[in-house]
């Protein structure tokens, strides 16, 4: 299933993509696509006769594909080729940090340049959405049973805030609009191999990132298992899993025009095989 949330920000309704790629309204079945629904109501959604649900007309705004995210976890330097482009050593264990939950935005909402920004960057990532409470998962083999599904995340980053002003990464990762999620939450059964998905990101039509989840250092099952050894994962929690090479931080002239940082007016497009596409325009702070 491909689950969506549509409508104005803060007033999104739950939906599902039908066989023709159109949105059907799920409001009669569930109140939202959120942690509680993922934990208890996915079987109810599966039993619904999708083509009998109300058809959503027009092209409504798509909200974040999961609502009320309470814990937004991120994994750093998780692609071998990305670590190489930044001159970083391969980590021995997953690098975990947090993004502010209120930085979550819709997949096509604008990216706002924060006050004082000098090095605004993009990161195309596969995100995991947790489907049931996970606490000390016994083994990697069991980890995927705790996953509801997957979506695209743009782990937008301000590199000065992140790396040049001391302290932890979070302040360069959690600014307003720095967490686009969607367009859909694709349930686990539709993605047969999370370690073999094509990925691409463009800026103003120029390909910046072109990679595959094959180059992940730590796999999706390992990440879910590993995180559960340190903190409880609740339904609706999001774990974004790292980015392939091509970020502006790793830019070496003359690969792109110098510098490669995002500026107001730039248009960023992201895609991951089986998970759809996002498009964001960069706008000034307001």
Q: Which of 226, 273, 216 is nearest to 73 (CA)?
A: 226
Residue 79 pLDDT > 90, yes or no?
A: yes
Residue 225 in this model has a pLDDT that exceeds 80:
yes
Q: For 241-265, how does the pLDDT look when each residue is reduced to its tens digit (9 = 90+)?
A: 999 999 998 876 655 555 689 999 9
Residue 85 pLDDT class (50, 70, 90 cuts)? confident
**Is pLDDT above 90 for 84?**
no
Q: For residues 127-141, b (16+ Cβ closer than 10 Å) or e, as one string? A: bbbbbbebeebeeee
Instruction: Of 7-11, 80-84, 119-123, give the lowest mean pLDDT range.
Output: 80-84
pLDDT score, position 240 = 98
Q: Among 264, 258, 255, which Cα is nearest to 210's?
A: 255
Residue 45 has pLDDT above 80, yes or no: yes
Distances (CA, A) of 10 to 16, 64, 252: 18, 10, 40
The set of residues, in sequence order, having a beta carbon less than 8 Å from that of 59 and lying 6+ positions away, is: none
CATH 3.90.850.10 location in the chain: 72-283
Q: Is 143 helix (H, G, I), strand (E, B) or coil?
A: helix
Mean pLDDT for the stretch of residues 38-50: 96
User: What percentage of the chain has pLDDT greater than the value 90?
Assistant: 90
C-alpha 239: how far from chain center: 8
Res. 164: pLDDT tops 90: no
Q: Residues 197, 211: contact at Cβ < 8 Å?
A: no
pLDDT score recorded for residue 233: 98
CATH number of the domain at 72-283, out of 3.40.50.300, 3.20.20.70, 2.60.40.10, 3.90.850.10? Answer: 3.90.850.10
pLDDT tens readout for residues 166-218:
778 899 999 999 999 999 999 999 999 999 999 999 999 999 999 999 999 99
Confidence check: pLDDT of 120 > 80: yes
Overall average pLDDT of the 45-70 stretch: 96
């Amino acid at each position: 299933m491909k689950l969506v949330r549509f409508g104005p920000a803060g007033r999104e309704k739950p939906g599902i993509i039908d066989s023709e790629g159109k949105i059907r309204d799920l409001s009669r079945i569930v109140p939202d696509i959120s942690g509680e629904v993922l934990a208890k109501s996915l079987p109810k959604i599966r039993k619904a006769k999708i083509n009998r649900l109300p058809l959503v007309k027009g092209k409504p705004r798509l909200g974040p594909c999961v609502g009320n995210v309470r814990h937004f976890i991120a994994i750093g330097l998780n692609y071998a080729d990305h670590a190489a482009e930044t001159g970083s050593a391969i980590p021995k264990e997953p690098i975990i940090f947090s993004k502010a939950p209120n930085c979550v935005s819709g997949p096509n909402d604008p990216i706002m340049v924060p006050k004082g920004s000098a090095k605004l960057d993009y990161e195309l990532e596969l995100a995991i959405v947790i489907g049931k409470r996970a606490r000390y998962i016994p083994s990697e083999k069991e980890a995927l049973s705790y996953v509801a599904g997957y979506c695209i995340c743009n782990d937008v980053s301000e590199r000065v805030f992140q790396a040049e002003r001391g302290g932890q990464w979070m302040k360069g990762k959690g600014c307003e609009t720095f967490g686009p999620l969607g367009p859909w939450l694709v349930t686990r059964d539709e993605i047969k191999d999370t370690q073999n998905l094509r990925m691409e990101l463009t800026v103003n039509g120029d390909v910046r990132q072109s990679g595959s989840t094959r180059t992940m250092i730590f796999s999706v099952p390992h990440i879910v298992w590993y995180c559960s050894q340190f903190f409880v994962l609740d339904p609706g929690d999001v774990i974004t899993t790292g980015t392939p090479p091509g970020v502006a931080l790793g830019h070496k002239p003359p690969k792109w025009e110098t510098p490669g940082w995002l500026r107001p007016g730039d248009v960023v497009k992201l895609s991951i095989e089986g998970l759809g596409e996002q498009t964001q325009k960069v706008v000034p702070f307001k």
